[in-house]
Amino acid sequence: MNFDVITAFPGMFDGPLTESIVKRARERGLVQVRLHDLRHYSTDKHRRVDDVPYGGGGGMVLKPEPLFAAVDDVQMRYPSAASRTILLCPQGTPYNQQEAKRLLACERLILICGHYEGVDERVGQHLVDESISIGDYVLTGGEIPAMVLIDSLTRLVPGALGDDEAPSRDSFYTTGLDHPHYTRPAEFRGLKVPDVLLSGHHEQIEAWRRDQAASATTRKRPDLLKPRARGRAEAGDH
């Protein structure tokens, strides 16, 4: 899977892309992440990519020209049949594991990171295929949300984890939460690992895990057991 990230702050990606599973997946060619510095697409002599908002008020807004130019350039240099262009935006479709599975079908994602007060509305209306939010809170920029998409999608790419079945055992892959996990020692500060996990009875262990997962879901996230209140259609595309 390929990611083309358009950002005014490419340095923000250094750590998360160069450690752990994402690092290994990149080294093995399972995913490719190309960072495109938005400032390279500015025609302004000071490489400015933002301007004051029409109508007044505080904050700066990312200008449309460099963003449209960056997407055009990426599409020309790295053509891809199954590509989607996504604006990271707190007003977008809420991101979750089902959305991750949907996006996994894409060969390439172009991820646009907003910053400052936001992005000129024409970008959301006319440049992108969809907008995605990683939650109901506001971050400084779309860089961390883009990394959230890259990380969560990389885990789902076959071969990225040691065990391709692992994601299907994680929370949210279907509807519920994962079961609890324990490792050695069997007793720590008087806290014991449940006996069944030490028993060697695989059927009993599987039954215990199913029960624990079901009760964790009921206790911690009963909302997951209800029909989804808010789907893509209701949230709209932008």
Ligand X SMILES: C[S@@+](CC[C@H](N)C(=O)[O-])C[C@H]1O[C@@H](n2cnc3c(N)ncnc32)[C@H](O)[C@@H]1O
Of these residues, 170, 178, 209, 221, which one is catalytic? 170
- Phi/psi at 141 (nearest 5 deg)? -155, 175
Does residue 117 have an active-site annotation? yes
236 binds ligand X (CB under 6 A): no
- The enclosing H or E element of 86 equals strand 83-94
| Identity of the residue numbered 69 | A
CB of 224 to ligand X, least distance (A): 20
| Identity of the residue numbered 38 | L
Q: Are 132 and 88 in contact (CB under 8 A)?
A: yes
25 binds ligand X (CB under 6 A): no
| Choices 5-13, 107-115, 162-170, 203-211; region in contact with ligand X by CB under 6 A | 107-115
66 binds ligand X (CB under 6 A): no
String of DSSP letters for 195-226: HHHHS--HHHHHHHHHHHHHHHHHHH-GGGGS
Q: Are 112 and 85 in contact (CB under 8 A)?
A: yes
Comparing CB distances to ligand X, the nearer of 52 and 198 is: 52
Alpha-carbon distance of 103 to 105, in angstroms, equals 5
Question: Which 119-138 residues touch ligand X, going by CB under 6 A?
Answer: 119, 133-135, 137-138
By CB under 6 A, the count of residues binding ligand X is 20
90 binds ligand X (CB under 6 A): yes
CB of 62 to ligand X, least distance (A): 7
Comparing CB distances to ligand X, the nearer of 111 and 160 is: 111
Of these residues, 117, 129, 151, 178, which one is catalytic? 117
5 binds ligand X (CB under 6 A): no
54 binds ligand X (CB under 6 A): no
Alpha-carbon distance of 189 to 153, in angstroms, equals 38
Does residue 155 have an active-site annotation? yes
CB of 180 to ligand X, least distance (A): 29
CB-neighbour burial class of residue 132 (10 A; exposed 0-12, middle 13-18, buried 19+): buried
Could you say which DSSP state residue 212 is in?
H
Q: How many alpha carbons fall within 13 Å on the CB side of residue 88?
A: 27
Q: Which one among 20, 32, 43, 91 touches ligand X, defined by CB under 6 A?
A: 91
| Catalytic residue ranges | 90, 117, 155, 170
Binding site for ligand X (CB under 6 A): 88-91, 113-115, 117-119, 133-135, 137-142, 145
